Amino acid sequence: MNRKIKLTTNLIWQYFNQQIGHQYSVWNVKHFWYLYQITLFKKCWDRECSHESNPQY
């Protein structure tokens, strides 16, 4: 449950802290959510791949 709250808070924080007028600002909530899921997946994928390539014994 705590992880869900942290992810939701991070999502809301990122949405409201977009730069106004920036070419990559997304103000449509559904589109922002879609892009956020993609970037979150990429971060998790990169983290998992880095752990696989550098196993800690």
Determine contact, residues 32/15, Cβ cutoff 8 Å. yes
pLDDT value at position 1? 65
Q: What is the mean pLDDT of each run of 10 residues along the chain (57 residues)?
A: 83 88 85 89 83 60
Report yes or no on 44 lying in a domain: yes
H/E/C letters for each residue in the chain? Answer: CHHHHHHHHHHHHHHHCCCCCCCCCCCCHHHHHHHHHHHHHHHHHHHHHHHHHCCCC
3-state secondary structure of 9: helix
Question: Is residue 6 assigned to a domain?
Answer: no
Residue 50 lies in a domain: yes
- For residue 15, tell me if it sits in a domain: no
Residue 46 lies in domain:
24-57
How many domains does the chain fold into? 1
**pTM exceeds 0.75 for this model:** no
Position 36 scores a pLDDT of 86
